Chain A
Amino acid sequence: MSALAASPSKRILTKGNEAICLGAVAAGCRHYYGYPITPQNDIPEYMAAHLPALGGTFLQAESEVATINIILGTSASGKRVMTSSSGPGISLMQEGLSYMAGSELPAVIVNISRSGPGLGGIAPSQGDYFQAVKGGGHGGYRLIVLAPHSVQEMYTLTMLAFDLADKYRTPAMILGDAVVGQMKEPFVASPYDPASTVEKPWALTGCVGRERRNLKSLHLKDNAIEVHNWKLHEKYERIRKDETRAESYMLDGATIAIVAFGTAARVSKTAIQWARKEGIAAGMLRPITLFPFPEREVFELARTVDVLLVIEMNTGQMVEDVRQCTSLHDRIAFLGKPCVMPTPEEILERIRLLAGRKG
Chain B
Amino acid sequence: MSAPGKVGFSKAVYTRPRSLVDVKSHFCPGCHHGTIHKIVAECIDRYDLREKTIGVACVGCSVFLYDYIDVDVVESPHGRAPAVATGVKRAQPDKFVFTYQGDGDLAAIGTSEVIHAANRGENLSVIFVNNTTYGMTGGQMAPTTMLGQKTSTTPYGRDFRSDGYPIRMAELLSGLEGTAYSARVAVSTPAQIRKAKESVRKAFEMQISGMGFSIVEFLSTCPTNWGMKPLDAQKRVLGEMSEYFPLGVFKERKQADVA
Contacts and interface: CB of A to CB of B under 8 A. Distances in A.
Do chains A and B interact in one complex? yes
Interface of A: 31, 33, 57, 59, 61-63, 65-67, 69-79, 81, 95-96, 99, 103, 204-209, 212-218
Given A212-B70, A212-B72, A213-B72, A69 B77 contact: yes
The 9 closest A-B pairs by CB, nearest first: A73-B87, A69-B83, A216-B75, A77-B91, A70-B87, A69-B80, A74-B87, A73-B84, A62-B116
Contacts of B237: none
Contacts of B52: 206, 208
Nearest to A73: B87
Contact of B66 (A208, A209, A216, A217): A216
Contact of B87 (A69, A213, A214): A69
B119 to A, nearest CB: 9
Given A31-B91, A205-B95, A218-B63, A70 B86 contact: yes
B73 interface: yes
B51 interface: yes
B100 to A, nearest CB: 13
B77 A31 contact: no
B116 A61 contact: yes
Contacts of A208: 51-52
Given A206-B52, A206-B95, A216-B66, A66 B73 contact: no
A72 B191 CA distance: 39
B88 A73 contact: yes
Identify which of A31, A216, A217 gathers the most chain B CB atoms within 10 Å of its CB.
A216
A99 B57 CA distance: 13
Given A69-B84, A76-B87, 12 more contacts: A61-B83, A66-B112, A70-B83, A73-B83, A74-B90, A77-B88, A79-B91, A96-B77, A99-B76, A205-B54, A206-B72, A212-B73
A216 B71 CA distance: 14
A321 B54 CA distance: 42
A241 to B, nearest CB: 30
B50 A207 contact: yes
Contacts of B92: 77, 205
20 contacts: A59-B86, A61-B116, A66-B80, A70-B83, A70-B86, A72-B77, A72-B83, A72-B84, A75-B87, A76-B74, A99-B75, A204-B73, A205-B95, A206-B53, A206-B71, A208-B51, A214-B66, A215-B73, A216-B74, A218-B63
B54 A214 contact: no
B43 interface: no
B56 A73 contact: yes
B113 interface: yes
Given A62-B112, A77-B91, A99-B77, A212 B83 contact: no
B142 interface: no
A66 B84 CA distance: 8
A213 B83 CA distance: 20
Interface string B42-53: 000000001111
Nearest to B53: A206
Contacts of A63: 112
Nearest to A216: B75
Contacts of B87: 31, 33, 69-77, 81
Nearest to A107: B87
Interface string B107-122: 0000011001000000
Contact of B54 (A61, A66, A206, A217): A206
B85 interface: yes
A216 B59 CA distance: 11
Contacts of B86: 59, 66, 70, 73
Contacts of B77: 69, 72, 95-96, 99
Interface string B18-35: 000000000000000000
B17 to A, nearest CB: 14
A73 B51 contact: no
B127 to A, nearest CB: 17
Contact of B116 (A31, A66, A71, A216): A66
B74 A204 contact: yes
A218 B73 CA distance: 13
B44 to A, nearest CB: 11
A159 B38 CA distance: 45
Contacts of B76: 69, 72, 99
Contacts of A79: 91
B80 A103 contact: no
Contacts of B72: 204-207, 212-214
A58 to B, nearest CB: 10
A79 to B, nearest CB: 5
B52 to A, nearest CB: 4
B87 to A, nearest CB: 2
Interface string B226-244: 0000000000000000000
